[in-house]
Structure 1
């Protein structure tokens, strides 16, 4: 959602974040994602700049759901201010039917996590022919 208030010169800077939150008091999605369904593959891309993918990022698939979680530890600074967000972040999306969770692959490049899930082709559904027996 685009904020209705300008981010610069705001008398109450925290107020702009409140307007950007899910309405009215829902969870903030701090991990932004893209989902693309292509033939034979489902791809989820997540913006995770500044995370160490080997230590801070986890991907899990269970019960038809894909969960991407990450954690950023706060650093103690004596002076100054920070608008960085610290703590645990998580997003969960439903996997498509036929998702082969044992073959999921993930890569991380330039702050973007890309998770590729192979999807088995399912048989087409449609009209079923009914043979008629003739006496």
Structure 2
């Protein structure tokens, strides 16, 4: 079951990870560009309609702890992007990572 956020973007802390939920109605999975860079999650989505209009969503989410960039996962379904950011105790913090969005 998909969590439908009450706000455009929500951040929750769970056992050992953060979860980010972004409400993106009307976007396709291919419209979403998701990146982890400098301790922030960057969510960008751009959708062009058949009548030439463009809708753009752009948000950044910071978390207070280090994240295991290699273990970040994301899914998109029911118009909601769900991103899991596992907390890491490792000091090896890479500058940036692109994240694939699954179904």
- TM (norm. structure 1) is 0.56
The reply on whether 1:86 has 2:62 as its aligned counterpart is no
Name the structure where strand makes up a greater proportion of residues.
Answer: 2
Change (3 A) 1:69 1:88: same
Deviation at 1:74, TM superposition (A): 3.1
2:64 alignment partner, SS class? coil
| Count of residue pairs brought into register by the alignment | 84
| Structure-2 separation of matches of 1:37 and 1:47 | 18
For residue 86 of structure 1, report the CA deviation from its aligned partner.
3.2
User: Quick one: distance in 2 between partners of 1:108 and 1:87?
Assistant: 18
List runs of 5+ in structure 1 lacking aligned partners: 1-30, 78-84, 123-135
Q: Is contact 1:96–1:119 with CA below 8 Å preserved after alignment?
A: no
Q: Which of 13, 17, 24 is the equivalent residue of 1:41? A: 17
CA RMSD of aligned residues (A): 2.2
CA deviations on 1:29-62 (whole Å, 9 max, x unpaired) are xx81111011201000000112111x20111000
CA distance in 1, matches of 2:49, 2:76: 22
Report SS of the residue matched to 1:114.
Answer: strand
What SS does the corresponding residue of 1:49 show, helix, strand or coil?
A: coil
When Rg is computed on C-alpha atoms for both structures, the one with the higher figure is 1
Query: For residues 50 and 88 of structure 1, what CA distance do their matches in structure 2 show?
Result: 11
TM-score, structure 2 as length reference:
0.72
What is the alpha-carbon distance in structure 1 between the residues aligned to residue 23 and residue 62 of structure 2?
A: 18
Higher relative contact order (CA 8 A, sep 6+): 2
Aligned partner of 2:49 among 56, 60, 74: 74
